Structure 1
Amino acid sequence: MQTSCHEVRFTLPSIEVAGKAWGDPQGLPLIALHGWLDNAGSFDRIAPLLENVHLVALDLPGHGLSGHLPAGGYSLWQQAATVLQVAEELGWQRFALLGHSMGAIITGIIAGSVPERITAAAMIDGLLPFTSEAEDAPRNMARFFEASLAAGEKRKPVYDSVEKAVSARVLGGTTPISRDAASLLVERGLMPAHGGWTWRTDPQLMLPSPLRFTNSHAAAFIEAIRSPACLILANQGVMHRHPHVLEQIVRFEHIQQHRLEGGHHLHLEQAAPEVATILDSFYRALA
């Protein structure tokens, strides 16, 4: 059990990326990717429970302590490219992945695109991105343009205490989350502002996607995964809001699938030990 962690930082060609690292540098190289609007604190509960891994949890660009990208810079494939740049900085030609939600989607994209570099891919309550078909592209792009033009008029909220920011995260999130879990994310997600606290997160991340994969695109990445793969689904998680997605996931027979009681952030809540047990067994099997 690796209980201690330390901060890491990577100077990439276009951005500074921060993160947290646990474990023995001689252990299995493992990069962990958090969900949308979360940060590396997403893995604080399970990382110490994983044996024989060198886990590096990133703050993806625009999140946590990492830098922000220029206008229009965020996409799933851009985030995936950043992960590969970090792997280069670490000197990891081959490595494993662990992703939650958006991070799980990015994990699938990387594992399907460069399967020769990925030794294993584990995903928590996430696999396929939101998709749309070709005929929807003009409307989606128009929504992005409209929101981008209006973004300059918006201001980040300022809270007079960290506790109020935690409450805002609990009440205002897109998925239910416990106060304890929210506290771990908020700790890394705030910065001082105007005598109070505001979010570090890049507001651009709130913009609608200008371009989405089609269903066929999304499925092709998952079908192209060649490494051992594992998916942990929360019985009260985000995937269960979309039964048609669950039906599609069942067809990916090359992915181990586990279902646990809990919400979308089950790895930060009561189910964390169960999640860690599944992941520990999954990564140990690689040896």
Structure 2
Amino acid sequence: MEHASHEVRFTLPSIEVAAKVWGKPDGLPVIGLHGWLDNAATFDLIAPDLDGVYLVALDLPGHGLSGHLPAGGYSLWQQAATVLQVVESMGWDRFALLGHSMGAIISSILSASVPDRILGAALIDGLMPITSNADDTPAQMARFLEASLATSKKRKPVYVSPEKATTARILGGSMPLSRAAASCLVERGLMPEQGGWTWRTDPQLMLPSALRFTPKQAVAIVEAIRTPTCLVVASEGIFSRRPEASALLEQFQNLQIHRLEGGHHLHLEQAAPEVATIIDSFFKSLA
């Protein structure tokens, strides 16, 4: 694939969504979906090595260069619906998915829910959402509502330089992240503010989820996937911190699982060539 990307914008009924695009329109149509608080630049290292692919990597609502939603607007299912709106605007009947972390979870939801439209999905260190038992619903909703009221009173931090923002991204993340990987994501995630720099990201994305899938619902989603699915698992990634999810992987016969050494953002770090090779081979099998 060509190394250079270009920018596109999708004007949807309720929001404008930005994207980075690699490849030619006659290639395999693929939607790229990044992780929570990341953006389309998450695929910068692997996209150029995906031959014969037309990759449209979205900044999901609230992230990167995309618009923000009204109060209470973010959920996994809302983001999945946005993906379908983008696909409709391009006139794609069927398409493949490339997702990392939260983007991988959204890909699973789409694969299970609209299988006739999905050619296949390549997932990077993500598959199932964090879950809660049904009995926890009132307390979970209470946390969301309380935090929502507090968000309007908070101010975004302002950094004197992108380098300072990059350091904050490294120190503030829930998973280890190299400086090179953080710099890639931060460049697209910043905007000028008061003589310095602040995040473009919608502060609402930091709120607790109002609702979570139950464990049974999450398993049902993965079990419903019938389209080809490739999952890259990082040795020091999300599954290493969620043993209950890791234990479930072997029971899902519909997954092609590849285990690689690396952290949660291994596709932006030293393992990027290996990740690209696996995903390139997978997409070639779809084509």
Q: TM-score, normalised by structure 2?
A: 0.99
Alignment of 1:42-191 (within 5 A): 42-191=42-191
Pairwise CA distance, 1:174? 1.0
Instruction: Output the CA distance in 2 between the equivalents of 1:221 and 1:13.
Output: 28
Q: Give the match's secondary structure for 2:2.
A: coil
Q: Tell me, which stretches of 5 or more residues in structure 2 are unaligned? A: none
Instruction: Output the CA distance in 1 between the equivalents of 2:17 and 2:244.
Output: 35
Q: Does 1:273 align with 2:273?
A: yes
Q: Give the match's secondary structure for 1:153.
A: coil
Decide whether the 8 Å contact of 1:223 with 1:252 is kept in 2.
Answer: yes
Instruction: Output the CA distance in 2 between the equivalents of 1:150 and 1:167.
Output: 26
- In structure 2, the residue matched to 1:244 is 244
Q: Which runs of 4+ in 1 moved over 4 A?
A: none
Decide whether the 8 Å contact of 1:101 with 1:125 is kept in 2.
Answer: yes
Q: Which amino acid aligns with 1:108?
A: S
Pairwise CA distance, 1:153? 1.5
Pairwise CA distance, 1:188? 0.3
Q: Tell me, which stretches of 5 or more residues in structure 1 are unaligned? A: none
Pairwise CA distance, 1:68? 0.1
Q: Which amino acid aligns with 1:207?
A: L
Instruction: Output the CA distance in 2 between the equivalents of 1:267 and 1:146.
Output: 36
Pairwise CA distance, 1:194? 0.5
Q: Give the match's secondary structure for 1:285.
A: helix
Instruction: Output the CA distance in 2 between the equivalents of 1:88 and 1:152.
Output: 34
Pairwise CA distance, 1:91? 0.9
For each residue in 1:120-166, what CA deviation from the matched residue of structure 2 results, as whole angstroms up to 9, or x when unmatched? 11110000100011100000000011101111121100001111011
Decide whether the 8 Å contact of 1:2 with 1:50 is kept in 2.
Answer: no
Decide whether the 8 Å contact of 1:62 with 1:69 is kept in 2.
Answer: yes
Q: Which amino acid aligns with 1:167?
A: T
- In structure 2, the residue matched to 1:214 is 214
Q: Which amino acid aligns with 2:249?
A: I
Q: Give the match's secondary structure for 1:17.
A: strand
- Root mean square deviation of aligned Cα: 0.6
Q: Which amino acid aligns with 2:13?
A: P
Pairwise CA distance, 1:238? 1.4
Question: How many pairs does the alignment contain?
Answer: 287
Q: Which amino acid aligns with 1:144?
A: F
Instruction: Output the CA distance in 2 between the equivalents of 1:222 and 1:117.
Output: 16
Q: TM-score, normalised by structure 1?
A: 0.99
Pairwise CA distance, 1:239? 1.3
Q: Which amino acid aligns with 2:277?
A: T
Instruction: Output the CA distance in 2 between the equivalents of 1:103 and 1:115.
Output: 17
Instruction: Output the CA distance in 1 between the equivalents of 2:153 and 2:12.
Output: 31
Instruction: Output the CA distance in 2 between the equivalents of 1:228 and 1:92.
Output: 18
Decide whether the 8 Å contact of 1:170 with 1:178 is kept in 2.
Answer: yes
Q: Which amino acid aligns with 1:12?
A: L
Pairwise CA distance, 1:178? 0.4
Identity over aligned pairs, percent: 70
